[in-house]
Amino acid sequence: MSDAIHVAPGVTIPAAALEMRAVRSSGPGGQNVNKVASKILLRVELARIEGLAPDARERLEALAASRLDAEGRLLITAQRFRDQPRNLEDAREKLRALVARAREQPRKRRPTRASAAARERRLEAKRREAQRKRLRRAAPDDL
Q: How many CB atoms lie within 10 A of CB 45?
A: 16
What structural domains and CATH numbers belong to the chain?
5-103 (3.30.160.20)
The model's pTM is: 0.72
Q: What is the pLDDT of residues 122-141, one digit of tens each?
A: 999 999 999 999 999 987 77
Torsion of CA 121, 124, 130, 133, to 10 degrees: -80
What separation in angstroms does the CA of 69 have from each of 45, 58, 94, 104, 138?
10, 17, 17, 24, 58
Per-residue model confidence as pLDDT tens digits over 26-70: 877 677 777 888 899 999 998 898 998 999 999 999 999 999 888
CA-nearest of 60, 36, 38 to 48 is 60
For 26, phi then psi, to 5°, come to -100, 170
